[in-house]
Amino acid sequence: MAQDGPASMNLPKVAVDWEDTPKAAYSVFESRTAQNCAAYLLPALQSLKDANPRVALLDVGAGHGSISATLARLIPEGHVTAVDINPDVIPRAKVIAESYGATNISFQAGDIHKLPFEDNTFDVVHCHQVLAHGKDQVGALREMLRVTKPGGLVASREGDMDSEIWWPQTPGMQKAHDYARMLITAHGGGGCSSSGRQLLSWALEAGPKRSQITPSYSVWHFTEKEDKERWGGGMLNVALAGHVRERAVKAGVKEEDLDEMREAWKEWIERDDATLIMVQGEVLIRK
Amino acid sequence: MAQDGPASMNLPKVAVDWEDTPKAAYSVFESRTAQNCAAYLLPALQSLKDANPRVALLDVGAGHGSISATLARLIPEGHVTAVDINPDVIPRAKVIAESYGATNISFQAGDIHKLPFEDNTFDVVHCHQVLAHGKDQVGALREMLRVTKPGGLVASREGDMDSEIWWPQTPGMQKAHDYARMLITAHGGGGCSSSGRQLLSWALEAGPKRSQITPSYSVWHFTEKEDKERWGGGMLNVALAGHVRERAVKAGVKEEDLDEMREAWKEWIERDDATLIMVQGEVLIRK
């Protein structure tokens, strides 16, 4: 995923393997770093570190932890606690952390709505593309604020699925967008497809004054060949293959539509003029 | 207009004056600078300047020239030629240039489709939110390339009107978006509301190979109070007032809808949780 400012140059290159579902899927998630996904947080993190290098950072919904690990590298005298509701991700997250040479990091299971920590524990509590997937985003932000020290920061970045735009605008790509949106908003019984634009309103509802919140917006885009292979590969090999495809067909999605989406993604990956862009909303909240 | 990276801190503050149409309208356009609208160009411009400080830069469709003037300040040993199809803008552009202390700048009338310059004249040929308003964007880019020296750069940034998202999502704001889109795409018999996502395809059609083009994307957003006053003020005082409103009513837009849009913009300006975001497409083309 390319990013304004920090570019995608350092991402691992993964060619599309039409048969290898998990590798292509993980490639999208594991290419995320502090630099390409939390750029809005980095100047404030640097200031905290300048004041006290032993920054305690909690990364919530960390998944495979590539953002957690790259954050850990930025605070070598500090510590990152990476939690995810699914403890099955921890072994892979440990491998990723090792690949980045991050040793000041620990992993545990934890629910964003009931974080297993005392009040006022962390200097920074961060989540990336987590709130959009659940319900009660305001409650989640309140819980993140609870475990943040006074004077510390809550940082959240959320995609805005409905802001997604792409080129070329083929009928198959429109179907593919509608299908992906359906999968995301249906997942887990919650989900929000306009989280980027709503994030500031959730932050205000969680309690802080407007003056405590710094909102910003950036884009995710997939335009260079390797980025398109990564994103389109995830769509082809996960969203449109295996058990997800089977579930979709059972739920009534037509096989011919799924095939049209596959062809549209393949064309999109190959075309020189193709791109896909999505707005990301960001808030930094000073407790 | 706030921007990723360069923030809006240096923009002049203009309170909304509901009666003062032109000031509020100009405020939006004149708050544009090289820093907040051409950040994608600045590293490459610096490299050109390092190689030869006497950079010759052409700014096409420069309007009141606030971007031209701030570009001129970045190349003090170079020169900016600012052209616009409408020579009536030149006196105001001269005032703006003077306010920035830019003396290495000249102004003249010029049509992007028939630029009054020899082949291979400029090191950099730039336009900002110009292609979207016309027809034959490919021809315009070819003409910009014609007057660019071999090894020089064409730089273009175009808004993507259809990517516009906002909060709160009131019915009045949806009507206001549809109305503004209608005004822009109707203007001058041309116009394109998806220019941001299409820009790379136009650049390729104009002749360069993909390897000569560096595409990027960023956002325009209006979230802080002064930015909302500037943007919403332009909508209230220009798009929804005076002769534009009269023309709209004659064209069949209902008075009650226009009034609903006014109320929606006023609410949007006042609300702490309000934002409006639009994707901008960017290309740097190496000739």
- Mean pLDDT within A30-57: 96
Residue with tokens 């002769």, as numbered in its chain? B243
Asked if A165 lies within 8 A of B194 by C-beta distance, the reply is yes
Residue A195 in tokens:
């989280």
From the list A103, A58, A117, the residue with the least C-alpha distance to A83 is A58
Alpha carbon distance A281, A160 (integer Å): 7
Alpha carbon distance A124, A152 (integer Å): 6
Number of neighbours of residue A179 by Cβ within 10 angstroms: 19
Alpha carbon distance A253, A260 (integer Å): 12
Which residues on chain A are in Cβ contact (under 8 Å) with B215? 223, 275
CA distance A5 to chain B (A): 8
Which residues on chain B are in Cβ contact (under 8 Å) with A272? 204, 210
Minimum Cα–Cα distance from A163: chain B residue: B163
Asked if A197 lies within 8 A of B272 by C-beta distance, the reply is no
Asked if A219 lies within 8 A of B218 by C-beta distance, the reply is yes
What letter does residue B131 receive in the DSSP assignment? G
Asked if B221 lies within 8 A of A217 by C-beta distance, the reply is yes
Res. A26: pLDDT tops 90 = no
CA distance A68 to chain B (A): 23
Residues 6+ apart with CB under 8 A from A87: A108, A109
CA distance A278 to chain B (A): 9
Number of neighbours of residue A187 by Cβ within 10 angstroms: 11
Domains in chain A with CATH codes: 2-286 (3.40.50.150)
pLDDT of residue A243: 83
Q: What percent of chain A has pLDDT over 90?
A: 74
pLDDT of residue A187: 58
Asked if B217 lies within 8 A of A204 by C-beta distance, the reply is no
pLDDT of residue B241: 86
Residue to test with chain A: of B3, B35, B213, B273, most A Cβ within 10 A: B273
Confidence of residue A25 (pLDDT cuts 50, 70, 90): low
From the list A196, A185, A223, A200, the residue with the least C-alpha distance to A280 is A196
Element (H, E) at B145: helix B137-146
Number of neighbours of residue B208 by Cβ within 10 angstroms: 18
Q: Which of A167, A197, A200 sits opposite B197 (nearest CB)?
A: A167
Asked if B277 lies within 8 A of A165 by C-beta distance, the reply is no
Asked if B167 lies within 8 A of A279 by C-beta distance, the reply is no
Confidence of residue A13 (pLDDT cuts 50, 70, 90): very low
- Comparing A261 with A10, the larger pLDDT belongs to A261
Which residues on chain B are in Cβ contact (under 8 Å) with A226? none
pLDDT in tens, chain B (287 residues): 444 332 332 323 333 333 444 555 667 788 899 999 999 999 999 999 999 999 999 999 999 999 999 999 999 999 999 999 999 999 999 999 999 999 999 999 999 999 999 999 999 999 999 998 888 999 999 999 999 999 999 999 999 989 999 999 999 999 999 888 887 776 554 678 899 999 999 999 999 999 999 999 999 999 999 999 989 988 898 888 888 888 888 888 899 999 999 999 999 999 999 999 999 999 999 99
Q: Which of B163, B218, B221 sits opposite A4 (nearest CB)?
A: B218
CA distance B66 to chain A (A): 23
Res. A190: pLDDT tops 80 = no
B20 to each of B1, B16, B242, how far by Cα in Å?
20, 8, 11
